[in-house]
Amino acid sequence: MAGIEVTALHKRYPDGTVAVDHVDLSVRDGELFVMLGPSGCGKTTTLRAIAGLERQTTGDIRIGDTLVNDLPPAERDIAMVFQFYALYPHLRTRDNLAFPLRAEGLPRAEVRERVDEAARLMRLGPLLDRRPRRLSGGEQQRVALARALVRRPRAFLMDEPLTNLDAELRADMRTEIKHLQGELGTTMVYVTHDQVEAMSLGHRIAILNKGRVEQIGTPLEVYDRPASLFCAAFIGSPPMNLIEVEVADGKLRSKDGLVFTPPPGLPRDRRLVAGVRPEALEVTEPGAERSVPARLISAEWLGDEIIYVVDHGGRRDVRVRMPPTVRFAADAPVGLRHLGGTPAVYDVSTEELVA
């Protein structure tokens, strides 16, 4: 097992597209590290560079203490799981699992032992004699995971492994992957565009955008204090409300009367935006204490909660997360109230967190 260090990674394709602009990552030994970002943000390219499937234009990659820049994928001692599983179609499950071990030239008895172990771990017993074509998507993915396991690599690389599964199965596999990683304690780098997956799996999350790292932090850090407006909009469903504010009388005030406690160390001379999570706001009866007048535009009943879309006279409508018991009629006049706490504050021009 080993940590992974990526330093000043830059990847430019011959046709001129820059897939990765500048990425620094430090994945700790035994960590489940998630790279999250929209398509085209460079997360997969970064992963493929770590795997050795792409050669970076500049920058260094270290796995453990080894500089692996010039090593072919096979010599990096890593295993990768792909979005399309990439099980060899002409081989039965058993041989798919044994394949990387035979390629290494391990003795037959050990191959058998390791395959059985991985099959037990991923509960593949009844599937061992089937070909990939006869397996369901979930089963194929379990086989792909097992094929990564048998190698006992220093690190696992996962390239959107759950994207092709249906929602229910995806949740199950998520739990399974997390459990497995915890049990084996192997370093894992996991690429996804699904923020729920990232939040539920990762020890730490790196949010990438346009080939750069926007933020690295634990799921809670990333959720509570997104480092940029991009992260604020990307994490959370519905996303953070971004409300233009000004500093006046030691408070943050929006044009329409909402008042927030300012975080310490705010610069005064810049245009600011407060990032307020939907659950930090509350829809009240009109005229309630500390509330501003507003109007309900729509409501989304999700069963366990209601998302109210509220027009409070600001530039953008805000979204408010409420328990399902609190119900207001559509288009009714209501009040909007902040529940307290200090919001994250962003500079409009740099789009970065200022305090």
**Site residues (vs another protein, CB under 8 A):** 13-15, 17, 48, 51-53, 72-74, 78-80, 82-90, 99-100, 103-104, 131-133, 137, 140, 164
Name the H helices within 194-302: 195-201, 219-224, 229-234
Residues 194, 183: Cα–Cα separation, whole Å: 24
Residues 227, 108: Cα–Cα separation, whole Å: 52
- Which residue from 101, 96, 353 is spatially nearest to 230, judged by alpha carbons? 353
Asked whether 219 and 206 are in contact (CB, 8 A), the reply is no
Residues 156, 118: Cα–Cα separation, whole Å: 15
What minimum distance in Å lies between the beta carbon of 73 and another protein? Answer: 5
Residue with tokens 């305090």: 355
Q: What would the two tokens of residue 134 be?
A: 């006869």
Q: Which is nearer to another protein, 72 or 107 (CB)?
A: 72
Residues 284, 334: Cα–Cα separation, whole Å: 6
Q: Would you tell me how many other CB atoms lie within 10 Å of the CB of residue 17?
A: 10
Beta strand 204-209 with 212-217: parallel, antiparallel or unpaired?
antiparallel
Residues 202, 65: Cα–Cα separation, whole Å: 24
What minimum distance in Å lies between the beta carbon of 321 and another protein? Answer: 37
Count each helix (H run) and each strand (E run) in the chain, helices first. Answer: 8, 20
Asked whether 73 and 52 are in contact (CB, 8 A), the reply is yes
In sequence order, the 6+-apart residues with CB closer than 8 A to the CB of 77 are: 63, 151, 153, 154, 155
DSSP calls for 59-120? EEEEETTEE-TTS-GGGG-EEEE-TT----TTS-HHHHHHHHHHHHT--HHHHHHHHHHHHH
Cis peptide before 238 (omega within 30 of 0): yes
What minimum distance in Å lies between the beta carbon of 265 and another protein? Answer: 46
SS3 292: strand
Q: Which is nearer to another protein, 76 or 174 (CB)?
A: 76
